[in-house]
Structure 1
Amino acid sequence: MSQLQGTVASTRFALYLRKHRCGAVTGELLLGGGDPSLYEGPLRFTPLRGRPGDRGYRVTVGMIFAEASASAGVAVNYQWVPGLELFVFDCAFMRFIPPIKMCLGEADDDQAVPIYVTNYARNTAGTCSLAFKLDPNEMWRLPAFVLVGTYFEFRPSEGKLGVARLA
C-alpha cells in the first residue's frame, strides 16, 4: 500500500467474495478504504499479526462426519481417496455437513473473530468431497472459496483486521 500513497485515500483496503444464485463467485478488492454498505456491522477486529507458533486447528475429519451422522440419524461414511487426495462421501448426506467455526486471533482469546465456513464440501459430477488438502506438515489447506460470504477490511496502519458477514 505504501506504493499507492498519494493515489488512494488511505492504507486501508477491503476484500470480499460473494456467491450468486447461478453459482458464480465474484468479489472486489477495495483500495483506500472499505464500504460499510457491504457488510452486516459492526466489524469485529483482530490483530494483523499473531504470535509465532499460534497456528492450529481443533477439528478433525472424523469430528465433521460424527456431527453429520448425528444430524442425519445414521452413519455418514467417508473415505480418503489417495489418487484424488480427497475425502469423499455419499452426496445424499451433503446437507448434514456441519459448518466449521474458524477464529482469527489468539487461541486463548475470548475476543477472537469467528468465521463460519459452510461451503467446504462440494459436489463435482456426483462425487461429494471435502475441500481439504493435506500437506506434509499435516496442516489443512483450504481453497479461497471457503471465504465466500465474509467481508475483510485490512487496516495495516492500525495493525488490525476487521471481519463481518456480507450483507
Structure 2
Amino acid sequence: MKGLVLALACLQLAEGVVRCRINLKKGESIREKMRAAGVLDDYLKKIKYDPVKKYSSKKGYVVNQPITNHLDSSYFGEISIGTPPQKFLVLFDTGSSNFWVPSIDCKSPACFNHAKFKPSESNTFTPNGRSLTVTYGSGSVTVVLGSDTLRIQNITVTNQDFGLSQEEPTQPFYFADFDGILGMAFPSLAVGGMPTAVQGMLQQDQLAEPIFSFYFSRQPTYQYGGELVLGGIDPRLFHGAITWAPVTQELYWQVTVEEFAVGQSVTGCCSQGCQAIVDTGTFLLTVPQEYIESILQALGAQETSYGYAVDCEEIENMPPITFTISGAQLPLYPSSYVLNTNGYCTLGIEVTYLPSQDTQPLWILGDVFLKEYYTIFDTAYSRVGFARSA
C-alpha cells in the first residue's frame, strides 16, 4: 500500500455544521497492475461471460471527503473504525449496500497487503458471530459481522454494524489500493439485512441534510481524484441547474432513461423506457446487450481482447452520446467515453450483464459518466440529481 500524504482543512459553516476536506493521493490503476502481473487477460476473459452478480431537522455535519480512484478509476477514501481508531481506505460504492473491511483473521492473499481490523485492539468492538457472503461482479467476500464506532472526519457513528472479511477473491482485490467497501445503496439491497453506514449516519443525526454527493475529477491525479460530500451539496463543484430524477426502485439508485442519442441521431432505444443504475462502484458505462452492436457501429469501434478499440486520431471527430433523463439532455463527449492508454484507445463502455428487474433495458452509469456530472443522492426524497461538473 502506497503512503498517503494528508492535508486537513475544516471550515465551521454554522453551529453544528462543519465541512472538512482531506486531500488523498491517487492509487495506481488496478488494470495496469494486473496487466503488469500477467493476469489481466485471463481475469477479463473469466468475468466477461459471468453475470454481474454485484447487483445483488438540521443537525450533524457536512463533510467533504476527497477520493481517489481504482481499476481504471473507482473512488475511495479514508475512514476509521474502533477505539482507538484503526484506519482504512474504502471504496464508496452506490451500487451495493454492505460495509466491510479485512479482518486480522483473513488468510486470503488479497488480505495480505491491506490494512486489517484487529478486534482485540478496540475497546468498543462488539462481536456478532453471524457470517454472510457478499457477491460482487469480481467475486464473493465472506465476512463475520460485528459492530464498532465508525468515523469519517467529524462524523461519528457508534455501534455501526460492519463485516470483517474472512475470505476475499485474489483478483482483483489483491491489486486494489483500497482495503474494503462501504456500500451506499438502499438498505433493502444489503445482504443479510445488515444495517448500512448511511442508515447509521442518519439515525444518529450525523448529517446536516439526508443527502450525499459525488464529484469526480475529469483529470484525476495521485494527489486528488474528487470528493464525496456527506450531508450536503458543494456549489463550487458544479455549475448550472440540477436535474432531479426519481428513484424507480429502492434497491439501487436507479432512474428512468427516456431517450438515448448518438450524435444528432435519436436511436429510439428507450422509447418504451430504459432504466439506469447510478453506480460509483462501476468504472465503465454499461450498455444493454441488445444495443451494443448498433452503438459500436455508430462510433466506429472494433472489438478486441482489450475492449472496443477506436482510432486515437479520430477522437475529436466522434459524436457525443446523450441520455435524456427527466426531460433534460445529458451529453457525454468522446473526451470522456474514450480511454487513451499509452496511445491505445478504447471505448469506456461494456455490456450490461445484469438482468433487468422489470424487463426494461438496463444501463449502468458508472464513473465514465459521473466524471461529467456532479451527482447528488437524496435519501429523503429518493431521487438523484445531476449537474454539470465544474
Summarize the alignment of residues 6-17 of structure 1 with structure 2, pairs less than 5 Å apart.
6-17=205-216
- For residue 54 of structure 1, the aligned residue among 274, 277, 280 is 274
- Following superposition, the deviation at residue 143 of structure 1 comes to 4.9
Give the structure 2 partner of residue 87 of structure 1: 308
Aligned match of 1:157 in 373, 380, 388?
Answer: 380
Aligned to 1:146: 369
Aligned to 1:74: none
Distance 1:142 1:37 in 2: 23
Give the unaligned 5+ runs of structure 2.
1-197, 249-254, 257-272, 276-286, 356-360
Secondary structure of residue in 2 paired with 1:42: strand
Aligned counterparts of 2:238 and 2:309: Cα–Cα separation in 1: 34
Displacement of 1:9 in angstroms is 1.3
* CA RMSD between the two structures: 2.8
**Identity over the aligned pairs, expressed in percent?**
25
The structure having more radius of gyration, on CA atoms, is: 2
TM-score (norm 1): 0.71
Letter in 2 for 1:45: W
Per chain length, whose mean CA-contact separation is higher, i.e. which structure has more relative contact order (CA < 8 Å, sep 6+)? Answer: 1
Paired residue secondary structure (2:315)? helix
> Greater strand share, 1 or 2?
2
1:73 aligned partner? none
Residue 295 of structure 2 is aligned to residue 98 of structure 1 = no
Letter in 2 for 1:96: N
Shift of 1:145: 3.1
Report the alpha carbon displacement of residue 16 of structure 1 after superposing the two structures with TM: 1.3
Output the CA distance in 1 between the equivalents of 2:209 and 2:367. Answer: 26
Aligned length: 144
In 2 relative to 1, CA 150–135 (structure 1 residues): closer, same or farther, beyond 3 Å? Answer: closer
3-state SS of the aligned residue for 2:314? helix
Change (3 A) 1:40 1:47: same
For 2:345, the equivalent position in structure 1 comes to: 128
1:41 to 231, 240, 245: 240
Task: Mark the runs of 5 or more structure 1 residues left unpaired by the alignment.
Answer: 66-77, 105-110
Do 1:48 and 1:160's aligned partners in 2 also have CA atoms closer than 8 Å? yes
